Amino acid sequence: MNLAYKILKAHLKEGELVPGTSIAIEIDQTLTQDSTGTMAYLQLEAMDVGHVAVKKAVAYIDHNMLQTGFENMDDHEFIRSVAKKHGITFSKPGNGVCHQLQLENFSKPGETLVGSDSHTPTCGAMGMIAIGAGGLDVAVAMATGKYYLSCPSVLQVNLVGKRNPLVSAKDVILAILQKLSVKGGVNKIVEYTGEGIKDLTLTDRATICNMGAELGATTSVFPTDEQTLAYLKQQGREADYKEMVPDVDATYDEYLEIDLSTVVPMTAKPHSPDAVVPVSELEGMHINQVVIGSCTNSSLPDMLHAAQILKGHKVAEHVSLVIAPGSSSILAMLASCGALADMVHAGARILECGCGPCIGMGQAPLSKGISLRTINRNFKGRSGTNDAGVYLVSPEVAALSAIKGYMSCEFDDGFTLDPVPYTPFVKNPNFFISDYDPDNTVYMGPNIKPVPRGEKLTDTITGRVTLKVGDNISTDHIVPSDSKLLPFRSNVPHLAKFSFSKVDPEFYDRAVAYGGGFIVGGDNYGQGSSREHAALVPNYLKIKAIFAISFARIHRSNLINNGILPLVIDQSDYDFFNDQDSYRLDDLLDAVANNKDITVTNENTNESITAHLSLSEREKVMIQYGGLLNAIKELGGDF
């Protein structure tokens, strides 16, 4: 048995480990962050439960920390008060990025984690099954201890050889993205094997697992070994170590081999993480900004490598270099060893420990600017500047380029990076609060609005196409993520006004005028983050169904959780839809109950096509009741 299935089998509560079938697994840990957490905890409150049912639940504040008004801090206080009421550990703003903190403090080999952030798979580096999900799925996991998913297949990525000097783990995952694309991991677990693993530190593995989300993978996982144990010793958690390895004769569904010795410094060009080329192809490209940080590359080794390159040098006069350490412990260690001073003396701006620029929360590039970033996504407009070009690079390339003023991987002859020892971490417990008071009063600020609810399924739905879009539409397209809108993540009626605003500014007015209707998409619709707001907003606008050639995993689940039909169409039927005619879906009750194809009729021409629907038994109930919250209210929390 492979490692992924070993962990799933040990936690299996319902179903069988057959790819494509519905299963439920026991969850040991959950995490939320404040961008998705407010809605998740509103949903948890709606379930009327007491203490959470998992071993460890953590609520992080790391996204919405730019307090230009009351909204963000109101949300933080709401989350803190809910956490105290339900026995959830609260991580205060400034403590760091949720995935880095979870890895440092709570990750355990062999355990399961589900988080309301698509980069939760970061902890797969620790030999965990760690899965990103929508906030409602995480709320249900906290309430019941279970998480439902389609059983993934397992892709073996066998690492051989050894990396060349100055080639980073970021380059490795970018090389994999170049081969597999942003949809190459959909409904798969990526399991890493091979002798090449020994060349990767625990934080290297975390970088690779983190960006497995960009493959569309359910999660990624590494076995445990000496590197795992060394990291746990560094964190003062040696007792948490457990050997987690696949059987010698383990089998897999797919196979990919990566020779680490052939990997070179890589970059992903705008506007997709799989638009990957060698850095050498862009050597000399003028840049304006460099960002080092995010959950992908903000570990202590990443920071120390950047500091070593910057030491004694000066950031180019036309370049703005900003650096965000991943946790308060990392920041403290950088200060104590002098690396922080090296960064500042070079001309770097030090940001607070959090997500910041990665999610468009400050540090937007200049108009038509070029920004090199060590983050995981470079979707158009995500940086806060719609016409900027964002390139994804390693911390090493980022630091060197900041000095030179242009994209570069040409280090001076003989330059090497000193190895980073597993120095014991300086632990600061003052940012974590673990109080439990079931009678605690929950704080509700004026910006926090009720969770939208769907309506029960009817046998016939009619409507017009409110929007037709192409391939790889991301959740950033559906509900933009920037400093102006992030404070309103608990206010769906306000967010709805900006839905698809960067794709079609008239979408909201048209959706209101049409009374909802349908959205038509291309391939990989809903890629990107786990934010369920990309389903909550269409639900609020009374969108009843979305037609697409294929759906990203998390977004499809979020649509079903909100009672919206995710209907798959053939490529040849994409042009069947237009924005002038009215469309009708018939016999829906029977189609949903029995997973039948759905007839879609153009009421103006009387032409028709069939759309495909495949739901688990549990998903059928959610669609029939108009969403998961409605089903829980009618049937109880463990239907």
Tokens of 94: 């400034």
Same domain for 512 and 551, yes or no, is yes
Same-domain status, 512 and 537: yes
143: confidence class by pLDDT, cuts 50, 70, 90: very high
Q: Give pLDDT, residue 442.
A: 95
Q: Would 433 be classed as within a structural domain?
A: no
Quote the tokens at residue 573: 């039927």
pLDDT band at 529 (very low <50, low <70, confident <90, very high): confident
3-class secondary-structure state, position 346: helix
| 374-384 mean pLDDT | 92
Do 366 and 473 sit in the same domain of this protein? Answer: no
pLDDT at 362 (0 to 100): 87
Nearest to 470 by CA among 494, 440, 504, 496: 504
What is the per-residue pLDDT for 360? 84
- Residues 180 and 286 both lie in one domain: no
Q: What is the pTM of this model?
A: 0.94
| pLDDT value, residue 390 | 97
**Mean pLDDT over all residues of the chain?**
95
Given this model, what pLDDT does residue 247 score?
97
Contacts of 460 (CB under 8 A, 6+ apart): 584, 585, 586, 587, 588
Please report whether residue 177 resides in a domain. yes
Structure confidence at residue 66 as a pLDDT band (50, 70, 90): confident
In-domain check, residue 419? no
Co-location of 393 and 527 in the same domain: no
Residue 10 lies in a domain: yes
> Cα separation of 589 and 286, whole Å?
58
Residues 393, 411: contact at Cβ < 8 Å? Answer: no
- Residues 50, 167 share a domain: yes
Q: What digits encode the pLDDT tens for the residues 154-179?
A: 999 999 999 999 999 999 999 999 99
Question: If you search the block for the tokens 């390139």, which residue do you land on?
Answer: 391
Residues 50 and 154 in one domain: yes
Encoded amino acid at 64, one letter? N
Specify the pLDDT at position 21.
95
What CATH code is carried by the domain that includes residue 331? Answer: 3.30.499.10
In a domain, 425, yes or no: no
Identify the domain boundary among 223, 239, 262. Answer: 262
pLDDT digit string, tens, across residues 473-523: 999 999 987 778 888 888 999 999 999 998 999 999 999 999 999 999 999
Q: Contact 28/37 with Cβ under 8 angstroms?
A: no
Q: What is the CATH number of the domain that holds 511?
A: 3.20.19.10
- 344 and 233 co-located in one domain: no
Evaluate whether residue 200 is within a structural domain: yes
Which of 200, 227, 262 is at the close of a domain?
262
In a domain, 14, yes or no: yes
Judge if 473 and 378 occupy the same domain: no
- Output the pLDDT for position 487: 85
Same-domain status, 43 and 161 = yes
Q: What is the token pair recorded at 414?
A: 């003989």
Work out the average pLDDT over 275-288: 98
pLDDT at 361: 83
Task: Count the neighbouring beta carbons within 10 Å of the beta carbon of residue 636.
Answer: 10
Beta pairing class for 112-115 and 432-433: unpaired
Residues 166 and 306 in one domain: no
* The last residue of a domain, from among 262, 297, 317: 262
Give the mean pLDDT of 344-360: 94
- Same domain for 230 and 270? no
Tell me what the mean pLDDT of segment 584-601 comes to.
97
CA dihedral 263, 264, 265, 270 (to 10 degrees): -80
Do the domain assignments include residue 423?
no
pLDDT above 80 for 344: yes
Dist. CA 214–CA 3, nearest whole Å: 22
Please tell me the distance from the alpha carbon of residue 33 to that of residue 274, in angstroms, as a whole number. 26
Nearest-5° Cα angle at 370, 365 to 372: 90
Overall domain count for the chain: 3
> What DSSP letter does each residue of 389-444 carry, written as one string?
EEEE--HHHHHHHHHHTB----PPTT--PPP---PPP---GGGEE----TTPPPP-
- The answer on pLDDT for 386 being more than 80 is yes
Q: What residues are paired with 147 via a beta bridge? A: 25
Contacts of 583 by beta carbon, 8 Å cutoff, 6+ apart: 462, 463, 464, 465, 518, 577, 600, 601, 602, 603
Tokens standing for residue 401:
């380029």
Q: How many CB atoms lie within 10 A of CB 439?
A: 6
Residue-level pLDDT at 639: 75
CB distance 32 to 135 below 8 Å: yes
Domain range for 117: 3-262
